[in-house]
């Protein structure tokens, strides 16, 4: 599922129009429309957080669906060797199983 499809699904599930979402997230209606149609690159982390709040969704999921890594996740990975090693093991195991 693309980011746009995910965003539209969340918006429809919340019963909001593009106008509602745009107003709550502080963006324009055309921007929401372009995102949903895949005509705009996925938004920044900051905009993902605003969209998630407007949709009552998990901001971390929204950021990851946008193809980005939350900045606080990056800090944990860079500063916590145990967390880094865990993720590295999980990633290697998934690759070994033929996962994406």
Domains and CATH numbers, the chain: 3-65 (1.10.260.40), 70-100 (no CATH)
0.85 surpassed by pTM: no
Q: What is the DSSP code (8-state) at residue 38?
A: T
In this prediction, residue 80 carries a pLDDT of 94
At 98, is the pLDDT very low, low, confident or very high (cuts 50, 70, 90)? confident
Residue 100 in this model has a pLDDT that exceeds 80: no
pLDDT number for residue 6? 97
Examine the pLDDT at 78 and tell me if it is beyond 80.
Answer: yes
Using a pLDDT cut of 70, give the percent of the chain over it: 98
Left, alpha or beta for 67 (phi > 0: left; psi -120 to 50: alpha)? left
């Amino acid at each position: 599922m693309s980011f746009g499809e995910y965003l539209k699904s969340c918006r429809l599930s919340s019963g909001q129009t593009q106008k509602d979402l745009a107003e709550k997230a502080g963006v324009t209606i055309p921007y929401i429309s372009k995102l949903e149609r895949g005509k705009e690159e996925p938004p920044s982390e900051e905009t993902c957080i605003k969209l998630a709040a407007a949709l009552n969704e998990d901001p971390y999921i929204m950021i990851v669906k946008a193809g980005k890594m939350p900045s606080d996740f990056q800090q944990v990975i860079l500063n916590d060797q145990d967390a880094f090693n865990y993720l590295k093991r999980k990633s290697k195991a998934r690759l070994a199983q033929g996962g994406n």
